[in-house]
Amino acid sequence: MQTESFATRLDARVAEALDKRLVDRVGSGRSTWLARVAAFVLVTPVHLASVVLTLGGIALVVLGAGWWQWVMAAFLLAIAWTTRPHLGGRAASGSVLLTSDRAPALTALVGDVVRRLGTRPPDEIRLDADFNAFVAPRGVRGRQLVLGAPLWAALGPQARVALLGHELGHLAHGDLLSLRYVGSAYRTLGRWVDLLDPLGAEMYKHSTPILVRAMMAPPRLLVVGYLHLLDAVNSASSRRQELYADLASALVGGTDGAVDCLESVLMGDAVDVVANRAAVDPTRPDLGEAIATRMESYDSGQRAGARRLAQDDRRSIDASHPPTVDRIRLIESVERMPPGIVLDPDRSRLIDKELAPYLSRMFKKLGENYRYVR
């Protein structure tokens, strides 16, 4: 059995302490905006580098008086194009668009949530096959809300409202600006690493001269170091954003709905097992019904057990999220909130009915992924 190094254990303890302090600061109402400002400051030179390269290339084209200057201009413009920032966003891969004609009841519910949070609705609502939900840029100014079919099926009505409150809370807090500006810098730095990595880039893969490797190593290490620094700073900012979105979740769905939503996220492994078994079952049961039935069977004791287990391993969705148990602690530590929007049974059934064909399509895709693992 492989044991963790002392450095790894130390990093985990430091991250745990920072997460707890962040939860305490957010719960007490104290500002934690410094990390976001630091992330914006760090990525600005990355975007400026692309601008400088572009302007330099254009200047050489206009003012150049010889072929070597035009070659240099082409070189600079090629690098600027390769490392250009992508501030826009594409449609979520493999997702289906839920228009107001296809899902009027869901669209109306999303409208109720954004009005409660004081923001404008997303330009698109989409459904995909992942156990997840997120908001993301769509085009230059647009924004999309993507709901994962397995997660949607795992949640009860009020937890679904809380899920919408969390994701749309990111829009209300302006987190999409950070995703555009900081996220595009991540991609730019990644392209710089590829350009400066002779061992990884296709053009250098087989026989790279040792001199070329030696020349590329210092700037590559500098870019990699900058990327790690940005990652460390932006992780704190991202975690802060998640905690404020959790408070929006409780504001809209109520304390119980928000806790129910996060406890369901803790059971993602169980959802994966249930969906996998249903997918390989020769009778081909409905994956959504199998997930919903399994989640409804969990009693309070089993949910408490899942929380204790998550507390022991400090489980989180990824590095941009605090441990889920700390997020639950935040919701339970602030003043208890009644539901801002109640999803009554009739409205819930109407949403289920209109989403049924699109959920079925996503669950069919998910089942194929389980049955035909690459």
Contact 367, 279 (CB under 8 A): yes
pLDDT for 317: 59
In a domain, 218, yes or no: yes
Half-sphere exposure of 89 (CA within 13 A, CB side): 21
Mean pLDDT of the chain: 82
In a domain, 27, yes or no: yes
The three-state secondary structure class of 117 is helix
The whole-number average pLDDT for the span 108-136 is 94
**Count of residues making up the chain:** 374
DSSP 8-state symbol, 202 = G
Query: How many of the other CB atoms lie within 10 Å of CB of 372?
Result: 8
Q: Please tell me the distance from the alpha carbon of residue 300 to that of residue 77, in angstroms, as a whole number.
A: 60
Domain coverage including residue 313? 11-89+176-371
In a domain, 145, yes or no: no
Say how many domains are in the chain. Answer: 1
Question: Which token pair is 7?
Answer: 């450095």
In a domain, 151, yes or no: no
In a domain, 5, yes or no: no
Q: Output Rg (C-alpha) for the chain, integer angstroms.
A: 24
CA distances from 182 to 47, 73, 132, 175, 332 (A): 10, 28, 22, 10, 31
pLDDT for 313: 59
- Single-letter amino acid code for the residue at 32: T
In a domain, 98, yes or no: no
Contact 171, 149 (CB under 8 A): no
pLDDT for 6: 39
pLDDT tens-place string over residues 23-32: 555 544 454 5
pLDDT for 196: 80
pLDDT for 18: 47
Flag whether the pTM goes above 0.85: no
Residue 53 bridge partners (DSSP): none
pLDDT tens-place string over residues 197-253: 766 554 455 556 667 667 777 888 888 888 888 887 887 778 888 888 999 999 999
CA quadruple 121, 123, 125, 130: dihedral, nearest 10: -110
pLDDT tens-place string over residues 15-62: 444 455 555 555 444 545 677 788 888 888 988 988 999 999 899 888
Contact 322, 235 (CB under 8 A): no
Contact 166, 249 (CB under 8 A): yes
pLDDT tens-place string over residues 85-96: 777 777 778 899
Asked if pLDDT for residue 258 goes beyond 90, the answer is: yes
Asked if pLDDT for residue 113 goes beyond 50, the answer is: yes
In a domain, 166, yes or no: no
Show the CA angle centred on residue 173, arms to residues 227 and 94, nearest 5°: 65
Asked if pLDDT for residue 324 goes beyond 80, the answer is: yes
